Structure 1
């Protein structure tokens, strides 16, 4: 019978391990690099707390493979708790936020209380099946994404507006294809840049009352695909375009939060792109354009 329980929340580059006693007291909480020397050091430190240890993980393959192999190669008792079960159990634990430390605590505590968890053994059927299912699911999904992206890129390059749209910093073939799909390539149907910005959910509308004026809010109905195009491209342009970065930094200096500043930049970019398409002109740094219909 285990004397202590060690739960590990699995991450791509780092894991978080929490060790609990039979009474649920925390003995250790550590974030560790997903690297063999670091994991071996963690294993030694946990074993030093008590030789009878039950380990638990919420991922049984992929980014957890190294940690699982380290544990099994050292003869450790290891159980698997599905991530969905961890998420459901988390609602019953103190704290509203989701952190790596909390997830690891839930994993360890569930391993301490439950007796119906799957034990992972070296090359047992369950572990092999999990690897097979994961690889089968990941492979087709990745292939489908690549095929769709290639098709989008090809269709975008064949469109007459491709050069103009792609000249906007932050908009490449994929976001450009999404923009054309959302607007059907016909900007005149929206009348003005403001209407397009409203459709994209980046043009605030007034929501005043008898005692409050100047209160703005996002439209209730907007095209989420268009919002993704302008918001994502705005984020990218902050890193790649001096004009966008200066605009963003000015909004931040005015007291706006990060999201508000990005949305303000996205709204400005709607006007710029609208004018470029209207005039058939590619983007140039410090280009002065008007967004009138």
Structure 2
């Protein structure tokens, strides 16, 4: 049914602002809305009773906007969201430059009324997808913290012993290196331990490279005999940072186990992983970014992911296509990496990649073109619940 009233909600942590406009553009409601289920229910029921079919539009469907969406869906009310970048551009078309919650809520409602094509649909979220989204979000946070701690640790090693950092810094992702730094956090501690103890320590977690890495460590230690100011203080810091890396790494491993359990239980996992280049972790990212959103066509999905080319034309001087700089960056990265992985295992993907390379495209351009082609197949697979079917590879004609 066509909406008779459009409720724009500028979401906030403790309070939202709600503005409703009717089909003729008249404001029928404009007040703050507490982040409270009873208050949200009361408003939605009241508007639906007074004006008929209601469309609720938010500017952020997750985190602080999740409760509004859930309550509306529970009441059987249509929901949608207006992407933030689109909202800001539409805001430039409205008079005034003030940035207030009331103005933003009105712009959301008015945009829903006058430009419905700018909205993104929201379907009822599955419990598994909601759980997976939280787990993946926490995994992203842990990954960022790991990168931060590793960079800090490399900075300290560079300060007190640059040569040693060149040996250990690039290997900080290996548990054996972190373990050794936790036990012997300074060059002096490594020297005191000696080759035998260091090699024995490394063998516990890295039996193959223990001897080679021990030789590299002591060769680096021999290149610098000067003790840099602050080395003694660094001993306590390096040890603590190494302990943090171990804890964060273990947490990521635990979260990964939980993610894999949820993904394995989802009915679409087998569909997704049937496509070459998509593993369980890649499927998890696709599920969190795609399921729950309403894509009308394969082109809509490609545009949302930011892998659809953008046409630029102005008179006769400017004419061509260029890669999009917009879209969902997480989904874009996942589709790019899965397309790249498929080149080795799927003859059809390899043939298409070679064809694009023969046309003069660079590597990244050819992979993006392949990702765009694969997104059409992915859309059909998700829509119909069908498994991937490889087509015979078409050989590129010789030049």
Unpaired segments ≥5 residues, structure 2 = 1-160, 172-211, 394-399
CA distance in 2, matches of 1:130, 1:66: 25
User: 1:10 touches 1:64 (CA, 8 Å); kept in 2?
Assistant: no
**Is residue 2:343 matched to residue 1:210?**
no
RMSD, aligned CA = 3.1
**CA positional deviation for 1:7:** 6.2
Counterpart for residue 166 of structure 2: 10
Specify which of 212, 227, 248 is matched with residue 141 of structure 1: 248
**CA positional deviation for 1:258:** 0.3
248 and 12 in structure 1: CA distance in 2 versus 1, 3 angstrom threshold:
farther
**Is residue 2:289 matched to residue 1:179?**
no
CA distance in 1, matches of 2:379, 2:392: 13
Counterpart for residue 162 of structure 1: 269
Equivalent residue runs for 1:116-155 within 5 Å: 117-118=228-229, 125-126=232-233, 128-155=235-262
Larger Rg: 2
Runs of 4 or more consecutive aligned structure 1 residues displaced over 3 Å after TM superposition: 6-9, 11-15, 63-72, 117-120, 125-128
216 and 76 in structure 1: CA distance in 2 versus 1, 3 angstrom threshold:
closer
CA distance in 2, matches of 1:281, 1:256: 32
Structure with a larger share of its residues in helix? 2
SS for the counterpart of 2:250 is helix
Equivalent residue runs for 1:55-74 within 5 Å: 67-72=216-221, 74=222
Any idea what the Cα deviations from partners look like across 1:242-282, whole Å, max 9, x if unmatched?
21111111111111000000000110110111112222211
Counterpart for residue 113 of structure 1: none
**Is residue 2:326 matched to residue 1:221?**
yes
State the aligned residue count.
192
TM-score (norm 1): 0.57
**CA positional deviation for 1:68:** 4.8
Of 227-236 and 126-135, more deviation after overlay is shown by: 126-135
Counterpart for residue 194 of structure 1: 299
User: 2:381 touches 2:388 (CA, 8 Å); kept in 1?
Assistant: yes
User: 1:71 touches 1:78 (CA, 8 Å); kept in 2?
Assistant: no
Any idea what the Cα deviations from partners look like across 1:80-125, whole Å, max 9, x if unmatched?
xxxxxxxxxxxxxxxxxxxxxxxxxxxxxxxxxxxxx4375xxxx4
Q: Which has the higher contact order (CA 8 A, sep 6+)?
A: 1
**Is residue 2:391 matched to residue 1:286?**
yes
User: 1:197 touches 1:267 (CA, 8 Å); kept in 2?
Assistant: yes
CA distance in 1, matches of 2:262, 2:375: 22
User: 2:336 touches 2:371 (CA, 8 Å); kept in 1?
Assistant: yes
76 and 219 in structure 1: CA distance in 2 versus 1, 3 angstrom threshold:
closer
CA distance in 2, matches of 1:150, 1:199: 29
Any idea what the Cα deviations from partners look like across 1:219-257, whole Å, max 9, x if unmatched?
343101110110010111112222111111111111100
Equivalent residue runs for 1:9-88 within 5 Å: 10=166, 67-72=216-221, 74=222, 76-78=224-226
CA distance in 2, matches of 1:118, 1:219: 50
196 and 14 in structure 1: CA distance in 2 versus 1, 3 angstrom threshold:
closer
Counterpart for residue 234 of structure 1: 339
User: 2:263 touches 2:280 (CA, 8 Å); kept in 1?
Assistant: yes
CA distance in 2, matches of 1:199, 1:221: 8
144 and 212 in structure 1: CA distance in 2 versus 1, 3 angstrom threshold:
farther
SS for the counterpart of 1:208 is strand
